[in-house]
Structure 1
């Protein structure tokens, strides 16, 4: 090639290079992904390898229990007595513990929740505000184990709300059994007890007895012995088994306990037994013991001494009971799927009577159980009880303690919420001491929809969980928490969440996250199918957070790692904005070209709606993949008349931190 052609070729190449460079600059200048300032980074939100561990033989990759999943079992036999003069509970306990783990256990750990009321308890130092009243906690008279058929004393150590029993010989793996005998008593806390207490009413004291016996800590494949102390906010993590218990009280008291009463003829009158049988076949609430009978000795089978009430509850992690001579008692049938039945009961003092208050408590309980059983998983126990006292919103298997002064919608909401806990974590046995959201969040989510269904929506809506019941847009109400730089994330340990954030983070944000999954991300059919699979797979077992995440992804067929990352592990903000809207013309067709930008670190599927001059509207929906590569998206919508405005998220369904930039007026 001669010099002329060489020079000419070089000049052409240079011209083309300059032209390409200029075109690229102009293209970048017109691309909103390059010109709009945004905190959004697609690579960060959608980064792969969300799970730090792969599935294994115990917790499978699909979110189900693996083929070698194991779980220990614990059965209890309890004999308790309440002394109403000294306000003490004394009891003997026979524990049968089965070690199904692959490990020999040289010691056992038990939970001692009553020790939280001791002056030196660790729970007094969590918030910096020590309780004003205290008890001595558990006082042990003896602790024994059975060796070769003979009871012998055993070395044990009490440390705050835990007891370690040091065995003379390790409990063998893969089915080894041991019996532990404990004799103890404790002072029943007064109103300061919170979850367990006694309080005075017009016709007598009400005793709410919970966390009343030493219970085995869980030994699992995640942490071995889970020995987190009871500090108040973090609740319970317990093994399943059968609990056979007896409660001795003065003759004039009614005992309402978890499980099924085994000796009605000994503790009830013939009339009461007949009325209970009538209630067992009635959708209408039947009065078993009326207000008029409170002072009538004939409403009890004997008129002196004491009576022993005997209850049995199978395949449960705990039991609790209420006892009082001030109880009004009513009951009704609960209709379950496939023709199954159970009983709904309420006990409450005369101060709580009336249809505007506790007169409808059994109806509320019945309606909630019927909905949860139809929608998610059938209620498994023969009885459910709503008990009125000062614990004011606490749940145990088969029984809930609700507020003595609750009325109307507040009573329905608290009843639905507390009995809902029988699904989470009483049936699905998650570790609520570590992961409060798997307990409170899931349960707040399911009782949102119970309000929609009960009595054709009598107490609806409850879209905001319990955060501000009955009003406001939950998408807007969660934003202040997300914007708060001091707010913890959902995955924070339960007891590490300050009271200011306890409800927003443990209840509201995870519940609203589930609503987003169901109503905006997956759709109701896919969500419900996956969530039901999770519940059925982990009923009476111990799931971890990853088991839930994997269950939802596998059941719904969707990679949701971006959602878990942004919503559960972080408080990443969402801010979608309409950046621009301009008319364009292609031939004889007119369109409006719209640019939507994501300004913050979170992403969501979204909708854009245009309002036309005649008031009509057009809408277009976009999946979350819109944000897989882009910080902004530009698209056209064909129109036949002038556009008045363009709006992103027109329903206000997304937790958008700045709704001011969601609306764009078109000139």
Structure 2
């Protein structure tokens, strides 16, 4: 009966509101709830309307057998690779495209030409160096040969892409093998920059190598695009094909090597004592076992071996390959039990300069990452996950990543350094899932790996609370942390759905905003249980496949039965922000003989309680509305309305008409905190669909048993509302912001 009463009373008020809404001009309706429709690609047999792979979905495969030599004296890498390429597409291919990412460092590279620069009154040595360049450094691949069955193949190099012409088309269902011989000079990452390269330690004349993008790699040929052969200019990362790898890495004999894949010949490259520790690590679940100690690493630093060793690795179903090598490395590892029969090794490689911080926290962070990501996406499928320490970097590859976080020379470190290191390790290890397994096209859509990964990074950081003893201070994820970016200067904000090379404010756009959007979608729109099921469905559907944005959008709706087109449109395709203005509140009670309330005209929308525009308080008395009896029959009740009962139930109740204006343009759920005069508090959430009829302004009436003292919109900053001083009623006299109310200073 209570719902019926509220329905009738709300109807009386809504008739006035509807009349006002009809005065809105059609041009003010921006169709924020229109379905995405043709904005998304047409579903087909490869990618369905549900967001799942279609029954004829296909993808290519590329297997590699490589022999790599790292020359520590000349800082070069020389390689021979045999590639077997499988054409699983329905198309015959007349040529192949191969990525040559190191060519962004070649002398004819476009990357420095398109880079922007400007002069300042004062320039550092590094700034001048980067303006003038390193005339001695000759970067880029030196391709020695491209052959098939011993015969030279015809090829042409266009910057960072190489086209290999075939004598006869590679037909659908066929495969072919060819080989490439190459070398390049390793870049000094500390001066030249880059995701891969060397760090030089002058005190002992030693190098630490973190090597990736180091070999010619097959470009992706895909159903929705054909060849992904967009040039590598530096910002957009990689689109890559899955395959199996067998890699021999030849390095000085005193080097320790970590790499994508499982070490195949530990007995040939480790001492007997190190072998025993390695086996112990496979059974240690509580803490890491140190396989190469700091004492052994310091001993290695003092002498330079003239002979070499070859470390052999195998990796299955990976999309890329990376490795690290140095005589400086300490190495520790522990097992992570994810399920019966799946106990990958979490491992860390770090020089003495990383201690004590790295010994204390690196492998623990790796282990936590595998556990949390496995819970929210898919169970980690690879045998190892490696974190490597070197200065000023955070970069990821299958099973291995390179991370910063260096203590002071005396071993001390700040909380900021500690949290930064833990955060970057979680983020880079997390990239194993996005995009190393759920293999989106980074060259086109940075947010699909960085944004999704940053979101699950946030969930992982929060699950570290027990180990840390306090809540991790996450930089990205909570809604209020994105406000400054989203409400910033118009020309500097671009949609999330922007190609990697055209993004402005890269970190905020591609990392923070999509991560915040997903966190808000989880906590405020869908709820954790429903969101987690849908997100896991997406991860499971597209593991070891090539998803697009449409596949994510469609799957999240398909697996949840929640229409989210308004959300994707606003958060991912637009640049509006959230600013809900609680512009007016009016308080009513039903007029009775007992209360003697004065019946006042209710047409004064937009005015304060006292008839002014001050919006300062509720006034001393409510306005009255007159109960109008009716004998109409309503289908909803299937009976005549019982005027007496409705009137009796409404007596003494407080009716609050809230006027809400969408000042920021981005439609959002509305979270209302009601504080009553007796001190009690109630939280109420209104779905975003309240804006469907009028995206600019809505009025809504709430019936409350108790008298309201204060109303706050989004009290816990869950919706990324940009301006919180218009979220509160009554307003303060001095215009203080919302934080003062939250701290109890009102």
Regarding TM over 0.5, the answer is yes
Q: How does 1:189-208 map to 2 (within 5 A)?
A: 189-191=187-189, 192-201=192-201, 202-203=203-204, 204-208=206-210
Residues 1:333 and 2:344 aligned together: no
Match of 1:431 among 438, 441, 447: 441
**In 2: Cα distance, 1:179 partner to 1:29 partner:** 72
Residues 1:619 and 2:680 aligned together: no
Report the counterpart of residue 599 of structure 1 in structure 2: 662
Residues 1:233 and 2:235 aligned together: yes
Asked if the contact 1:476/1:655 (under 8 Å) is kept, the reply is yes
Residues 1:168 and 2:178 aligned together: no
TM-score by length of 2: 0.80
- Deviation (angstroms), 1:666: 7.8
Report the counterpart of residue 292 of structure 1 in structure 2: 295
SS at match of 1:637: strand
Residues 1:659 and 2:724 aligned together: yes
- Deviation (angstroms), 1:520: 0.8
Task: Tell me how many residue pairs correspond in the alignment.
Answer: 629
Asked if the contact 2:208/2:328 (under 8 Å) is kept, the reply is yes
Asked if the contact 1:386/1:415 (under 8 Å) is kept, the reply is yes
**In 2: Cα distance, 1:45 partner to 1:376 partner:** 29
Cα pair distance change 1:33/1:597, threshold 3 Å:
farther
Asked if the contact 2:586/2:658 (under 8 Å) is kept, the reply is no
Report the counterpart of residue 415 of structure 1 in structure 2: 425
**In 1: Cα distance, 2:687 partner to 2:301 partner:** 68
Q: How does 1:110-509 map to 2 (within 5 A)?
A: 110-129=98-117, 132-133=133-134, 134-146=137-149, 151-173=150-172, 175-191=173-189, 192-201=192-201, 202-203=203-204, 204-283=206-285, 284-296=287-299, 305-354=307-356, 356-390=357-391, 392-403=393-404, 405=406, 407-456=417-466, 458=468, 460-462=471-473, 464-465=475-476, 473-481=480-488, 484-498=490-504, 501-509=505-513
SS at match of 1:495: helix
SS at match of 2:82: strand
**In 1: Cα distance, 2:22 partner to 2:725 partner:** 23
SS at match of 1:86: coil
**In 2: Cα distance, 1:171 partner to 1:603 partner:** 51
Cα pair distance change 1:418/1:57, threshold 3 Å:
same
Asked if the contact 2:479/2:520 (under 8 Å) is kept, the reply is no
Flag structure 1 segments of 5+ consecutive residues without an equivalent: 1-23
**In 1: Cα distance, 2:26 partner to 2:363 partner:** 53
**In 2: Cα distance, 1:298 partner to 1:137 partner:** 30
Report the counterpart of residue 525 of structure 2 in structure 1: 521
Asked if the contact 1:197/1:209 (under 8 Å) is kept, the reply is yes
Match of 2:64 among 52, 76, 89: 76
Write the deviation string for residues 97-139 of structure 1: whole angstroms up to 9, x where unpaired: 0001111111100000110111321222332247623533111
SS at match of 1:128: coil
**In 2: Cα distance, 1:297 partner to 1:619 partner:** 62
Of 206-215 and 332-341, the range deviating more from structure 2: 332-341
SS at match of 2:520: helix
SS at match of 1:194: coil
Cα pair distance change 1:480/1:575, threshold 3 Å:
closer
Residues 1:585 and 2:589 aligned together: yes
- Deviation (angstroms), 1:373: 1.4
Cα pair distance change 1:585/1:193, threshold 3 Å:
closer
Report the counterpart of residue 8 of structure 1 in structure 2: none
Cα pair distance change 1:613/1:37, threshold 3 Å:
farther
Cα pair distance change 1:299/1:532, threshold 3 Å:
farther
**In 2: Cα distance, 1:462 partner to 1:478 partner:** 19
Residues 1:55 and 2:52 aligned together: no
Write the deviation string for residues 241-291 of structure 1: whole angstroms up to 9, x where unpaired: 001101111111111111100111111111111101101101211111111
Of 622-631 and 250-259, the range deviating more from structure 2: 622-631
Asked if the contact 1:45/1:602 (under 8 Å) is kept, the reply is no
TM-score by length of 1: 0.89
- Deviation (angstroms), 1:428: 0.3
User: What's the RMSD between the two structures over aligned residues?
Assistant: 2.6
Cα pair distance change 1:598/1:463, threshold 3 Å:
farther
Cα pair distance change 1:546/1:76, threshold 3 Å:
same
**In 2: Cα distance, 1:157 partner to 1:666 partner:** 69
Write the deviation string for residues 534-555 of structure 1: whole angstroms up to 9, x where unpaired: 1111111101110110000100
Asked if the contact 2:405/2:420 (under 8 Å) is kept, the reply is no
Cα pair distance change 1:357/1:341, threshold 3 Å:
closer
Of 131-140 and 270-279, the range deviating more from structure 2: 131-140
**In 2: Cα distance, 1:241 partner to 1:95 partner:** 10
Cα pair distance change 1:476/1:189, threshold 3 Å:
same
**In 2: Cα distance, 1:227 partner to 1:666 partner:** 57
Asked if the contact 1:111/1:215 (under 8 Å) is kept, the reply is yes
SS at match of 1:347: strand
Cα pair distance change 1:42/1:408, threshold 3 Å:
same
**In 2: Cα distance, 1:196 partner to 1:39 partner:** 52
Of 230-239 and 37-46, the range deviating more from structure 2: 37-46
**In 2: Cα distance, 1:297 partner to 1:121 partner:** 38
**In 2: Cα distance, 1:394 partner to 1:163 partner:** 25
Residues 1:64 and 2:52 aligned together: yes
- Deviation (angstroms), 1:337: 2.9
Of 553-562 and 456-465, the range deviating more from structure 2: 456-465
Match of 1:628 among 692, 695, 699: 692
**Larger RCO, structures 1/2 (Cα 8 Å, 6+ apart):** 1
Cα pair distance change 1:270/1:626, threshold 3 Å:
same
Asked if the contact 1:357/1:408 (under 8 Å) is kept, the reply is no
- Deviation (angstroms), 1:492: 0.7
- Deviation (angstroms), 1:340: 1.7
